[in-house]
Structure 1
Amino acid sequence: MDREWGSKPGSGGAASAQNEAIDRRERLRRLALETIDLAKDPYFMRNHLGSYECKLCLTLHNNEGNYLAHTQGKRHQTNLAKRAAREAKEAPAQPQPHKRKVSVRKSVKIGRPGYRVTKQFDPETKQRSLLFQIEYPEIEDLAKPRHRFMSSYEQRVQPFDKRYQYLLFAADPYEIIAFKVPSTEIDKTPPKFFTHWDPDSKMFTVSLFNICSTASYVFRCDLAQRLTV
């Protein structure tokens, strides 16, 4: 018994390309009927002859199902992408949000402040510490000194050395000064670490302890080293 090659016995002949295209359009039509609301489609139009047109692709369709199948096809989707790209190109540029100008206050620096650094030792915890006392007799009214730690990666004055970090002090109109201290963990539990600004004596005090409690550890500081950063 003869049968067409390319199909299973009893299943009939292999589907032709035309039949596959018809079946594909029918599946797309059913899918579109379930998901698309024609009332909201700006390109759907019914003409005076009772047929339907796609205003985007300028195509004619016999019924709504054929139009919906068309909307799922490559031609319609390509034209949609082109229309969106053209509208985006022709759309007026959105105005940039207004950026508030921040005026940078410039003050004339009067030099570096005086300072004292005292090495201390706690016999109970075996911790060594440093006491910084920075004098700002000409500090601006209502101003308060500030301090922060800076890693060796951040500064650009000395060659990088991961063994050290810098403790910076700043207060207008004085220059910023920095002290080079070992890059060890600081014990910031009160009262081990504290800062105090005395507006009467114009002195800013910072005390810090290293976290290490071994007696053989030395908290070294190059007191002569000051940086303007």
Structure 2
Amino acid sequence: MDYQNRAGSKFGGGGVASHSATNADRRERLRKLALEQIDLDKDPYIFKNHLGSFECRLCLTVHQNDGSYLAHTQGKKHQTNLARRAAREQKEGKGEVDPHTGLPVGVVGAGFAALGLGGAGAGGPRKNVVKIGRPGYKITKVRDPITRQQGLLFQLQYPDIGTGVAPKWQVMSAFSQRVEDPDRNFQYLLVAAEPYETCGFKIPARELDKREDRQFEYWDPDSKEYWVQIMFMTEREERFNAAPGLTGRR
């Protein structure tokens, strides 16, 4: 911070800084020191919302900038919640999150039953199928230039899929599963096809546009490729649908 080039100050004399300027300089120095020790890209609890603010998923707090979030992570509330979460996960025997799917280790390949969506978990018969691993997949972000809707296109490859088997997919809320603590900011898109492991993708918990030209699936039995496209409602449409007495497009 320049303390010298101020009105009425002499070179080497150290100009008088205001109280607010001193505090701003102190916060910036602390922010730079914290960034040298903390990598925000690897922080699983930070989330930047559509307003540009930063949210802490662990403590459900909102911060105007990354410096404020970094200060929050060093506070008593965040540290206490970290300790409580670690103790709870150790007690319940929960593992780490799979970096490929965003789901806890053990969920991928366990099928819909592991998430409380049928199968053995719902009292139905469970097939003894030897899993052969995860399919290859590619995720592409899509955007409609006219409606400005954003979406995701999933492409999965099943070269060794079972005879007469077609992949199936579904979207479930975070409150429908019993594996990890529910997070209202996310939902899960699951794709299953025997004998492959079930793939789970963590996506934003935004309302989906379920019209036929917006959301679709396609299975090519010749190339053994499966396509799923989902489109999210725009923020304007979500507010319109949430208004009482109004009905948005479905």
TM-score normalized with structure 1 length = 0.47
Whichever of the two has the greater Rg, that structure is 1
TM-score normalized with structure 2 length = 0.43
Structure with the larger strand share: 1
